[in-house]
Amino acid sequence: MVDDQAFKERVLEQGWGPGALIPWRGDLAHQIATAGLRSCDLRADAGGPVQDETPPDGQFLLVSQLCDLTAPAASEPFAVALPAGAWDPEPDRPLPRRNSARWLVLDADARLVASQARMITFDKQRLPDLEPLHVPLNPQLISTWCARRWRRTPLPDAFTRTIQPALEDALERVDHATALSATICWRTQFLLPGADGVRGVSLIAVFDPDLIESVEFSGYVAAVTEQVDRLRARYEQRFAKQVTGFQPYQLMPSQPASTTQFSLQMALDTEMISFDHLSPDLGGEAADGPERPELREEDVV
């Protein structure tokens, strides 16, 4: 067992912390290096950090906070790493979208992606005795991304089976690369039923005003909303066959909101749409219905 103070000094001197890449060896790292993170079986044997001079099978992402790494081993004995690697051997495969709670693009140029579908805990004193490479991301972004997976709110099945897949379709069909890259996230607000009992729902697109003008982004949101309203019918018909008494939502005008306008109150009043999450109540992704081959689950998050 390494002395706590000596290990703390090594961690600080070498620069370990969130965003550091750990040289990793094992079946899981080998699968990722061979088939790509997109296609590998995340249930494979995890392996662990490299402890000698032999080449690693890959690099996994350290997500433990620095304060946990430097705390006494008796109170914080473990570190947490995530599988990471090239997304796919095929360079034309689209990378995950930036709002995914499952995947995080660590380096778009290198096509390096991390996955929260599996978290690996190991004795933190097994961190290799070297200065690690770091991904080109702010550690705060990595911490925020990790937290998002556990704080997201499950949305009603009536929404995730109708409006949400229609929104996924619309985002694929409205071709506007600048607006897509400027989109921080999509959120939704559920409105109280009216006198007729119809429930309203509004879509809110949060965007970075440094990347696109507000007027241009508003036009993009309007085009996406028009597509959602047109495409949702087939999903509503399918859902109505599975659920007795289903009543479609009334889709209200969508709202763009820049990061300078988005307030705490808006955050409290709306819910994040996480495209890679569906409630299991109706059988999850295996529910019967028309295929959408251009929107494979592993490509759309």
Per residue in 21-43, pLDDT tens? 999 999 999 999 999 999 999 99
Is pTM beyond 0.85? Reply is: no
Both structure tokens of 168 = 């996924």
Spatial CA neighbour of 178 closest among 213, 230, 223? 213
Confidence class of residue 197 from pLDDT cuts 50, 70 and 90? confident
Predicted pLDDT at 99: 61
Q: Residue 136: exposed, middle, or buried by beta-carbon count in 10 A (0-12, 13-18, 19+)?
A: exposed
Considering the chain, what is the average pLDDT of its residues? 87
Please tell me the distance from the alpha carbon of residue 299 to that of residue 237, in angstroms, as a whole number.
Answer: 25
For the CA atoms of 147, 148, 152, 157, the dihedral, rounded to the nearest 10 degrees, stands at -140
Checking phi first, is residue 221 left (phi over 0); if not, alpha (psi -120 to 50) or beta?
Answer: alpha
Strands (E), the chain: 20-25, 48-49, 58-62, 78-82, 84-86, 103-107, 112-115, 120-123, 133-134, 183-191, 200-207, 250-251, 255-258, 271-272
The one-letter amino acid code at 120 reads I
Kindly tell me if the per-residue pLDDT of 256 is higher than 90: yes
**How far apart are alpha carbons 118 and 63 in whole angstroms?**
12
Q: pLDDT band for 100, please (50, 70, 90 cuts).
A: confident
